[in-house]
Amino acid sequence: MNDALANRDKEYKYGFVTDVETEKFPKGVNEDVVRAISKRKEEPDFLLEFRLKAFRWWQEQTPPHWAHVEFPPIDFQDIHYYAAPKSMADAPQSLDDVDPELLRTFDRLGVPLHERERLAGVAVDAVFDSVSVGTTHQDILAEMGVIFCSFSEAARKHPELIKRYLGTVVPPRDNFYAALNSAVFSDGSFVFIPKGVHCPIDLSTYFRINASNTGQFERTLIVAEEGASVSYVEGCTAPMRDENQLHAAIVELIALDDASIKYSTVQNWYGGDENGRGGIYNFVVKRGRCEGARSKISWTQVEAGSAITWKYPSVILKGDDSVGEFYSVALTNNKMQADTGTKMVHIGKNTSSTIISKGISCDGSRNSYRGLVKVTPGADNARNYSQCDSMLVGSDCEANTFPYLEINNQSAVIEHEATTSRISDDQLFYLQSRGLDSEEAISLLVNGFCKDVFKTLPLEFSVEAVKLLEMKLEDSVG
């Protein structure tokens, strides 16, 4: 038994549970729960209204099933919608007042928050279950007019900005899970980069699910004003549990004229064991709008965890000459299922988008790319380049590509390339005969396969991503 646990630890080193007293709302969701969440966060009235409207609409909907994934129906009344460490109840004013056990948790996750140890080039907002534990570097950023804080704090301190932008990219009625999130979202990050400011350091949110039977419904909103730029990184982990936990987040990005937002994700939620038991359901809506002319939004994602991943970080290219990018590596092993890709919606003139997707399927997993390129009638001279490559490791896995094109303007130039490859025994033997063992050989092949995506990540995260994939692959190469 101990051996088995030790083995599991090796496979997923972030699978530990932090022992803190947690305040949880009773299981289930209704209007009272929605009101209670809003009250606990001392939100302005408009936010409560926003939540209630979303909730009422959600109640009338049925969950969608079009993704190429299989899972038993989710009992939405069997989930805790709010969980927070008790020590966070009286809202610590600074990181010095935060429960040391929570700080130690983030240390163990490699995201130290203390001033003396924290990462120099990155400001971090650390979210633990439903609350933000703290945000580093806030003082330095404030001097430049950059707002980087938890969503709850933003709702209290900058209600006018929240009111102006919240739900403008992903409306509450966008889809079932967007409505649910809009009703019960707990915490997340808010970023505001004022006109002309280039944010000097990477901003990062680290999401940690700790409590059991709890859903995490975070909300991230990033606004870059005219000529502003920011690079934002998201990381996430959860303990190993035999039950499935729901993570239904919304991320909204808005880039005004000449602004640019780069959003990178390294997702390593617990993916379940080799029999497909446990793991996170990662059902996330991520969308950015290139509102202004010459604006740019770039998504990079490294998806290496979650029992089920169901998400399509998208860009609405509204401004003329705007640019959308999507770079993705999705690795599935054990019984994991991923249906992920992007939507690029060309509306403005001379807009261009690039999609590079690399799917790696191992063991008995299922990995699908699903992507839409849409060119509206007014989007003259739209350009898109899509490249979707799949790699199979082993013989029981599955890889699919579902590309959708809706082109309504003759001037569009659309290119699509797709390949599927399998790591061949000949390749492995060739590399082994040069001194690389099978793990090193596969890691070399996989890193080569993914390098177009890795090179778009901020350096330290690119190193992290490579290590993460190597760790995952170790178990799949027997």
Is the Cβ of residue 160 or residue 426 nearer to other proteins in the bound state?
426
Instruction: Tell me which residue of 245, 348, 352, 261 sits closest to 306, measured CA to CA.
Output: 245
Residue type, 42: E
Quote the least distance from Cβ 419 to other proteins, whole Å: 9
Distance in Å, CB of 448 to other proteins, minimum = 3
What is the closest distance, in whole angstroms, from the C-beta atom of residue 452 to other proteins in the complex?
A: 9
Q: Tokens 């809003």 — which residue? A: 38
Q: How far is the CB of 428 from other proteins (least distance, A)?
A: 8
- Return the number of the residue (36 or 436) whose C-beta is nearest other proteins: 436
CB of 432 to other proteins, least distance (A): 4
Burial of 53 (0-12, 13-18, 19+ CB in 10 A): middle
- Closer to other proteins at the Cβ: 263 or 449? 449
Please tell me the distance from the alpha carbon of residue 210 to that of residue 229, in angstroms, as a whole number: 33
| Rounded distance between C-alpha atoms, residue 251 and residue 106, angstroms | 22
Least distance in angstroms from the C-beta of 441 to other proteins: 8
Closest CA to 186 of 281, 94, 83: 83
Q: How far apart are the first and last CA of the chain?
A: 22
Residue 30 or 421: which CB sits closer to other proteins? Answer: 421
> Which residues in this chain contact other proteins in the complex, by CB under 8 A?
421, 424-427, 429-438, 440-441, 444-445, 447-449, 451
In this complex, which beta carbon is closest to other proteins, that of residue 372 or of residue 444?
A: 444
Phi, then psi, of 451 in degrees rounded to 5: -65, -25
Buried b (16+ CB within 10 A) or exposed e, 299-323: bbbbbbbbbbbbbbbbbbbbbbbbb
The residue among 297, 203, 214 whose CA lies nearest residue 248 is 214
Nearer to other proteins, 372 or 428 (CB): 428
Looking at beta carbons only, is 59 or 447 nearer to other proteins?
447
CB of 417 to other proteins, least distance (A): 13
